[in-house]
Amino acid sequence: MNFGVISTANIGRKRVIPAIQRTDATVQAIASREQARAEEVAADLDIPRAYGSYEELLEDDDLNAVYNPLPNSLHAKWTKRAADAGLDVLCEKPLAVDADQAREMVGYCDDQNVTLMEAFMYRYHPRTERAVEVADSYLGEIRRVDAQFHFALPEGYNVRLDPALAGGSLMDVGCYAVTAARLFLGEPESAYATAVDRRDCGVETSLTGLLEFTGDRTATVSAGFGESVHQYRVLGTEGHLEVDRAFVPDGETTLRYTVGGRTVEEMYDPVDQYRLEVEAFIKAVESGNPPRTDGTEAIKTMRVVDALYESVDRGEPASL
In terms of domains, do 256 and 147 share one? Answer: yes
Q: Are strands 142-150 and 190-196 parallel, antiparallel or unpaired?
A: unpaired
In terms of domains, do 158 and 66 share one? Answer: no
Q: What is the pLDDT of residue 291?
A: 97
Q: What is the pLDDT of residue 237?
A: 98
In terms of domains, do 156 and 62 share one? Answer: no
Domain coverage including residue 44: 2-119
In terms of domains, do 230 and 299 share one? Answer: yes
In terms of domains, do 81 and 188 share one? Answer: no
Q: In what order do the strands lie in the sheet with 88-91?
A: 49-51, 26-31, 2-6, 65-68, 88-91, 116-118
> For the chain, which ranges sit under pLDDT 70?
none
In terms of domains, do 243 and 312 share one? Answer: yes
Among candidate residues 100, 119, 138, the one where a domain is terminated:
119
Q: What is the pLDDT of residue 252?
A: 95
- What is the reported pTM? 0.97
Q: What is the pLDDT of residue 166?
A: 98
- Say what angle helices 175-185 and 295-314 make with each other, to 10 degrees: 110
Q: What is the pLDDT of residue 227?
A: 86
Q: What is the pLDDT of residue 34?
A: 97
In terms of domains, do 16 and 140 share one? Answer: no
CATH for 242: 3.30.360.10
Among candidate residues 74, 97, 119, the one where a domain is terminated:
119
Among candidate residues 119, 140, 171, the one where a domain is terminated:
119
Q: What is the pLDDT of residue 250?
A: 86
Helices marked H in 25-152: 35-44, 54-58, 75-84, 99-111, 126-138
In terms of domains, do 81 and 197 share one? Answer: no
> What CA–CA distance (Å, rounded) separates 3 from 21?
10
What are the backbone angles phi and psi of residue 239, rounded to the nearest 5°?
A: 170, -170
In terms of domains, do 138 and 233 share one? Answer: yes
In terms of domains, do 186 and 70 share one? Answer: no
Total domains in the fold of the chain: 2
Report yes or no: 26 and 46 within 8 Å, Cβ to Cβ. no
Q: Between the CA of residue 286 and those of 117, 211, 291, what are the distances in Å?
A: 13, 37, 11
Q: What is the pLDDT of residue 140?
A: 98
In terms of domains, do 96 and 190 share one? Answer: no
Whether cis (ω within 30° of 0) applies to the bond prior to 94 is: yes
